[in-house]
Chains A and B, each alone.
Chain A
Amino acid sequence: MGMTEAILLTIATAATPLLLAAIGELVVERSGVLNLGVEGMMLMGAVVAFGTALTTGNAWLGIAAGAIAGAVFSLLFGFLALTLVTNQVATGLALTLLGIGLSGMIGEAFVGQPGVKLGAISIPVLSDIPLVGRLLFGQDPMFYISLALTGGVMWFLFRTRAGLTLRSVGDSHSSAHALGIKVIAIRYMAVMFGGACAGLAGAQLSLVYTTQWIENMTAGRGWIALALVVFASWRPWRVLAGAYLFGAITIAQLHIQATNLRDLADWPAPLFWIAEAVKSIPSQFLSSLPYLATIVVLVLISRNRRLTMMNTPASLGRPFVPDR
């Protein structure tokens, strides 16, 4: 396995949890609900997935348990924000704080334990094709699940009647209510889908990305997923692009920080100077580069205001109380 291939594989592994969490949140926000609890739901998914896999020895059961944990945890948000009509921003923040604490408590016994790894699949012959073989046919299952979910969400939102109904609820809940569409029921389903996706993202972190449970191991990825949805102007393919861009720059800057200049002494002079210049950039700046680059690129591609307006859920975050 060559160096380039290895780097590309790590990029996919870094991008997958962001993509999973963001595509779920995209569906939630398209229905007009702002759930800031992604980070908390991811942590719950991660700890439940890790624990289930550890006790049963089956990583697939862990993945399923992670998704269910995320969905169940999101129900708490749904009950508060949709049924009791609490402030969505505050409720989402509370969900994240609760998720951090609760997952830390559940996971106390798991710290330092070796977990179960969900191995990469390997298709004979196809995986052995030079260069693209491993990248396309030899990755871990979560990679394929995340891409299938993205494609599925695109098809659902823009090609099915149910997707149209969900978008209409996000555009104007009062109009939808006047037509007899069950606004709250649809939002509950969207919130639970988002919770399940965040749970999957967490499971990927504790069963694929690393094979251990570390307290607060999501390290802000839930917040990045939230930002991705907004900067991708609520369009699935842009979320995909943003997640991979972020993953790529994260991995690239890690490699730059890890490289020692002395190892490059035999490089031709111009290349060495460039390497020297890159190395002289403060590491704090390099660490912030993924965030900066993702935001800049997504802002640049969202300049078409008309398209942005059309894709922005007009009811986002607004509470809905039907008068009966």
Chain B
Amino acid sequence: MKDTDTGAERNLLEVRGLTKIFGSLRACDAVDLTIAKGEIHALLGENGAGKSTLVKMLFGTLEPAAGEILWDGEPVRIASPGEARALGIGMVFQHFSLFEALTAAENIALSLDSDTPISTIAAKAKALSYSYGLPLDPYSLVGDLSVGERQRIEIIRCLLQQPELIILDEPTSVLTPQEADKLFETLERLRGEGKSILYISHRLEEVKRLCDRATVLRHGKVVGHCDPRKETAASLARMMVGSDVHAVVRDPAEGLASAEPLLEVTKLNRKPATPFSIPLRDISVSVRAGEVIGIAGVAGNGQGEFFEAISGEVTQDEADTVRIRGNGVGRLGISGRRMQGAAFVPEERLGHGAAPAMRLSENLLLSRHKTDGKVFLGVANILRFPAVASAAKRINEIMDVRKSAPDPAASALSGGNLQKFIIGRELDRRPAVVVVNQPTWGVDAGAAARIRQSLIELARSGSAVLVISQDLDELFEISDAIAVMHNGELSDPIPIAEATRERLGLLMGGAEPGHQAHEPLEAAR
């Protein structure tokens, strides 16, 4: 392991009092940060703590309101990504900055300022990718690639510019555990070559494993510097959140073996809706009363398509392909399935789960006017606003939704608070079946814990809960069994006692194709 005494070395990058203000929000407030040569420096913080804002200023896509940046001891002004690259700063973006309709080589060419021919760039990229063990076909179309492969393009693109400092923004959030291991090897090799790395993450275990130093941000301010290897995950979490995070309590499920299945999916197939989307193949899963089943998988393996098929946004040919409480609902739309006692929470909060410009009470009415028509609608379907308003108030109180006005527009809420409202809106009906896609994506730790706990409580009160998530930690916290989706196929659920990250990771990477019929796990459950 590397010597941690980096104080004697000269700092590659020094940031003093960097500030960025959006409207009335101080996204970054007098942030100080130093990065030494040859270190992996972690930038920790919750969603909205200002991490992305800070690195955007370092990469020249945002202009700081105040503060200075020193590069190799010299003050610099970074006005554009081109200038950042010229200094020797490379960036691997969280939401990839790739062009789907172009090839990998064309994508790489676009970030190189010189006018080198594409064929030369392709050859260089290929050679570099193989030397780092990240094989890449430069002529493949980005739209056809998995997220892991897309990230390779980003990393190769960055390395081709021979940067001194590489910024990685949440690089493992889209990778399988094995792919993440491969990435860590690459990063350690780069550190060995004397490169500096700024590693942004909210995953504490990998920060402890990889990083030499850490800077922790909260609400735009630096709240501490530390050596992550000397901290515990709990102490790091406390620094990030500012208070203790309540751990989610999961009582063991009882009497599952005799419980009746409330949601049954049998041999669900779906053709790809667009040329770049994933077909679903023979998906079968059943969720019993009192049970939480998690569906893991790397983004873009058919989870979105699966959710649409179950929720009724896309209907099936056979009624019995999807059964809710024993009734075939395959040919019914969303409202029809809701009437059978099901509830659905899609991945995208604004625009899919809620109409951004409408008030919370109106959003409540939009999703429940059919199922709760008796309460919310009067004679001739005239809206009964007092009933809607009191239901919205009840939901907000139960889920602890924090808002600035009594009944604000959905877009005025923070991600975590809006998600609490949307989940609460569905759970308030006491549904027999709940299907949630990415329940805590981009949600702060406190809200995430609240949401997870409420899902478990619902299941233990006798409902069936199906959670689709890319966050393995989340699934381990709440699931009774975890199935893995890969390339439009679903594995059998693995009981939580037998599930390991290793095993799920292999399934997520597609290492066991055709695993559905073969493993006798159904009996073990």
List residues of A whose CB falls within 8 A of some B CB: 161, 164-165, 167-168, 171-172, 174-181, 305-306, 309-312, 314, 323-324
Contact check, A180 vs B81: say whether CB atoms are below 8 A apart. yes
Specify which chain A residues have a CB less than 8 angstroms from the CB of B106 in the assembled complex: 164, 168
List residues of B whose CB falls within 8 A of some A CB: 60-63, 80-82, 84-85, 93, 96-102, 106, 109-111, 115, 118, 141, 143, 274-276
Contact check, A175 vs B99: say whether CB atoms are below 8 A apart. yes
A-B pairs with lowest CB-CB distance, top 4 = A180-B81, A306-B275, A178-B97, A175-B97
* Minimum CB distance partner of B110 in chain A: A168
Measured in the bound complex, the distance between the Cα atoms of B274 and A313 in whole Å is 15
Q: Which of A165, A171, A180, A324 contacts B85 (CB 8 A)?
A: A180
Contact check, B109 vs A309: say whether CB atoms are below 8 A apart. no
The answer to whether A172 and B61 touch (CB under 8 A), given A161-B115, A181-B110, is: no
Measured in the bound complex, the distance between the Cα atoms of B61 and A180 in whole Å is 8
Contact check, A324 vs B110: say whether CB atoms are below 8 A apart. no
Measured in the bound complex, the distance between the Cα atoms of B111 and A180 in whole Å is 8
Q: Which of B101, B118, B141, B276 contacts A311 (CB 8 A)?
A: B101
Contact check, B93 vs A164: say whether CB atoms are below 8 A apart. no
Measured in the bound complex, the distance between the Cα atoms of B108 and A168 in whole Å is 12
Specify which chain B residues have a CB less than 8 angstroms from the CB of A171 in the assembled complex: 99-102
Measured in the bound complex, the distance between the Cα atoms of B103 and A168 in whole Å is 11
Contact check, B102 vs A168: say whether CB atoms are below 8 A apart. yes
Specify which chain B residues have a CB less than 8 angstroms from the CB of A324 in the assembled complex: 62-63
How many A-B Cβ pairs are below 8 Å? 66
Contact check, A161 vs B275: say whether CB atoms are below 8 A apart. no
Measured in the bound complex, the distance between the Cα atoms of B102 and A309 in whole Å is 11
Q: Is the interface of B mostly helix, strand, loop or mixed?
A: loop
Measured in the bound complex, the distance between the Cα atoms of B84 and A180 in whole Å is 10
Measured in the bound complex, the distance between the Cα atoms of B80 and A179 in whole Å is 9
Measured in the bound complex, the distance between the Cα atoms of B275 and A305 in whole Å is 7
What are 7 A-B contacts defined by CB distance under 8 Å? A168-B106, A168-B110, A171-B101, A172-B99, A178-B81, A179-B81, A179-B97
Extra 6 A-B pairs, beta carbons < 8 Å, given A164-B110, A175-B97, A180-B80 = A161-B115, A180-B60, A181-B110, A305-B274, A312-B101, A323-B62
| Closest beta carbon of chain A to B143's beta carbon, Å | 7
| Closest beta carbon of chain A to B121's beta carbon, Å | 10
Specify which chain A residues have a CB less than 8 angstroms from the CB of B276 in the assembled complex: 309
* Minimum CB distance partner of B107 in chain A: A168
Contact check, A314 vs B100: say whether CB atoms are below 8 A apart. yes
Specify which chain B residues have a CB less than 8 angstroms from the CB of A306 in the assembled complex: 275
Contact check, A161 vs B85: say whether CB atoms are below 8 A apart. no
* Minimum CB distance partner of B141 in chain A: A310
Measured in the bound complex, the distance between the Cα atoms of B81 and A21 in whole Å is 36
Contact check, B143 vs A310: say whether CB atoms are below 8 A apart. yes
Specify which chain B residues have a CB less than 8 angstroms from the CB of A181 in the assembled complex: 110
Specify which chain A residues have a CB less than 8 angstroms from the CB of B99 in the assembled complex: 167-168, 171-172, 175-176
Measured in the bound complex, the distance between the Cα atoms of B276 and A305 in whole Å is 10
Contact check, A178 vs B143: say whether CB atoms are below 8 A apart. no
The answer to whether A167 and B102 touch (CB under 8 A), given A180-B60, A324-B62, is: yes
* Minimum CB distance partner of A305 in chain B: B275
Specify which chain A residues have a CB less than 8 angstroms from the CB of B274 in the assembled complex: 305, 309
| Closest beta carbon of chain A to B111's beta carbon, Å | 5
Measured in the bound complex, the distance between the Cα atoms of B276 and A31 in whole Å is 22
Measured in the bound complex, the distance between the Cα atoms of B80 and A324 in whole Å is 10
Q: Which of A179, A312, A314 contacts B111 (CB 8 A)?
A: A179
Contact check, B81 vs A309: say whether CB atoms are below 8 A apart. no
Measured in the bound complex, the distance between the Cα atoms of B276 and A127 in whole Å is 51
Specify which chain B residues have a CB less than 8 angstroms from the CB of A175 in the assembled complex: 96-99
* Minimum CB distance partner of B61 in chain A: A178
Measured in the bound complex, the distance between the Cα atoms of B110 and A180 in whole Å is 10
* Minimum CB distance partner of A177 in chain B: B61
Measured in the bound complex, the distance between the Cα atoms of B109 and A165 in whole Å is 9
Measured in the bound complex, the distance between the Cα atoms of B102 and A311 in whole Å is 10
Contact check, B101 vs A314: say whether CB atoms are below 8 A apart. yes
* Minimum CB distance partner of A324 in chain B: B63
| Closest beta carbon of chain B to A155's beta carbon, Å | 14
Measured in the bound complex, the distance between the Cα atoms of B102 and A312 in whole Å is 12
Contact check, A174 vs B102: say whether CB atoms are below 8 A apart. no
Contact check, B102 vs A164: say whether CB atoms are below 8 A apart. yes
Specify which chain B residues have a CB less than 8 angstroms from the CB of A312 in the assembled complex: 101
Specify which chain B residues have a CB less than 8 angstroms from the CB of A172 in the assembled complex: 97-100
Measured in the bound complex, the distance between the Cα atoms of B274 and A176 in whole Å is 24
| Closest beta carbon of chain A to B506's beta carbon, Å | 31
Measured in the bound complex, the distance between the Cα atoms of B82 and A43 in whole Å is 41
* Minimum CB distance partner of A161 in chain B: B115
Q: Which of B63, B82, B93, B275 contacts A180 (CB 8 A)?
A: B82
Measured in the bound complex, the distance between the Cα atoms of B418 and A48 in whole Å is 56
| Closest beta carbon of chain A to B20's beta carbon, Å | 10
* Minimum CB distance partner of A179 in chain B: B111
Specify which chain B residues have a CB less than 8 angstroms from the CB of A177 in the assembled complex: 61
Measured in the bound complex, the distance between the Cα atoms of B466 and A147 in whole Å is 59
Specify which chain B residues have a CB less than 8 angstroms from the CB of A310 in the assembled complex: 101, 141, 143
Interface-centre pick from B61, B118, B141 (highest chain A CB count, 10 A): B61
Interface-centre pick from A174, A175, A311 (highest chain B CB count, 10 A): A175
Measured in the bound complex, the distance between the Cα atoms of B100 and A177 in whole Å is 15
Measured in the bound complex, the distance between the Cα atoms of B324 and A17 in whole Å is 60
Contact check, A309 vs B98: say whether CB atoms are below 8 A apart. no
Specify which chain A residues have a CB less than 8 angstroms from the CB of B80 in the assembled complex: 180
Measured in the bound complex, the distance between the Cα atoms of B101 and A297 in whole Å is 25
* Minimum CB distance partner of A313 in chain B: B101
